Amino acid sequence: MVWLAVGKDKIRSDIEMVVQLLLSLQGSKLEENDPMRSQLLQAWARLGKCLGHEFKPYMSVAIPRLLKSAKIGSYVIIPENPDDVDESDGSIRALIVGDRKIWIKTKVLEEKLTACKGLYLLADELKQGLSVWIEKVARTLVPRLKFAHSEEIRRVAASAMPVLLKSSKVATQEGYLEWSADESPFKKLYSYVVPALVKALSMESLLEITAVILDSLDECMKMSEHVLDEDQTDLFLKAIMNVLQKISSLSRSKVGAIEGINQTLPDEENGEEQKVYDKAAACLTTFIITHKNSFSPFIGKLAPCIELMWVKDRIVEERRIALHVFCDVAKQFQEEAFRRCKISLLFLFKACKDENPEVQEVAAQAIGTAAEFGGSVFKSFLKGAVSALNAVMGHPNALQMEYVMAHDTAVSALGKILQFHREKLKAEKVLRIWLGHLPLKNNLEEAKVVHRQLCSLVEVSDGELLGTQKAYLSEIVAVYAEILWAGKKLATEETVNQMIKQLKLHSRRSPPSTWRSIMLSLEPHLQKKLESILLS
Instruction: From 298, 318, 333, give the residue that closes a domain.
Output: 333
Both 371 and 494 in one domain: the answer is: no
Q: Is 517 a domain residue? A: yes
Both 463 and 411 in one domain: the answer is: no
Q: Is 83 a domain residue? A: no
Both 307 and 290 in one domain: the answer is: yes
Both 354 and 458 in one domain: the answer is: no
Q: What's the domain count of the chain?
A: 4
DSSP string, 224-269: SS----HHHHHHHHHHHHHHHHHHHHHHHHHHTT--GGG-S--HHH
Both 110 and 160 in one domain: the answer is: yes
Instruction: From 388, 420, 437, give the residue that closes a domain.
Output: 437
Instruction: From 315, 333, 351, give the residue that closes a domain.
Output: 333
Task: Give the CATH number of the domain where residue 67 resides.
Answer: 1.25.10
Q: Is 207 a domain residue? A: no
**Helix H or strand E segment including 302:** helix 299-308
Q: Is 212 a domain residue? A: no
Both 364 and 456 in one domain: the answer is: no
Question: What pLDDT score does 232 carry?
Answer: 85
312 burial level (CB within 10 Å; 0-12, 13-18, 19+): exposed
Question: What pLDDT score does 259 carry?
Answer: 47
Both 297 and 328 in one domain: the answer is: yes
Q: Is 453 a domain residue? A: yes
Q: DSSP state, 440?
A: -
What is the extent of the structural domain holding 159?
A: 2-78+90-201
Per-residue buried b or exposed e for 48-80, using 16+ beta carbons within 10 Å of the residue's own CB: bbbbeeebeebbeebbebbbebbeeeebeeeee
Residue 427 to residue 435: CA distance in whole angstroms: 12
Q: Is 219 a domain residue? A: no
Residue 61 to residue 419: CA distance in whole angstroms: 67
Both 274 and 402 in one domain: the answer is: no
Give the list of residues 6+ apart from residue 476 with CB closer than 8 angstroms, or none.
Answer: 435, 454, 458, 466
Beta-sheet strands, E only, within 308-440 = none
**Helix H or strand E segment including 100:** strand 100-105
Neighbouring CB atoms inside 10 A of 347's CB total 20
Question: What pLDDT score does 241 carry?
Answer: 82
Residues in the chain where the model's pLDDT stays below 70: 1-13, 75, 78-90, 97-98, 248, 251-270, 294-296, 300, 303-317, 340-344, 461-469
Q: Is 85 a domain residue? A: no
DSSP string, 460-510: H-HHHHH-GGGTTHHHHHHHHHHHHHTTTSSS-HHHHHHHHHHHHHHHHHS
Both 282 and 352 in one domain: the answer is: no
* Percentage of the chain modeled with pLDDT above 90: 41
Both 192 and 51 in one domain: the answer is: yes
Helices 299-308 & 230-255, crossing angle to 10 degrees? 10
Specify the pTM: 0.74
Question: What pLDDT score does 265 carry?
Answer: 47
Both 39 and 12 in one domain: the answer is: yes
Both 257 and 122 in one domain: the answer is: no
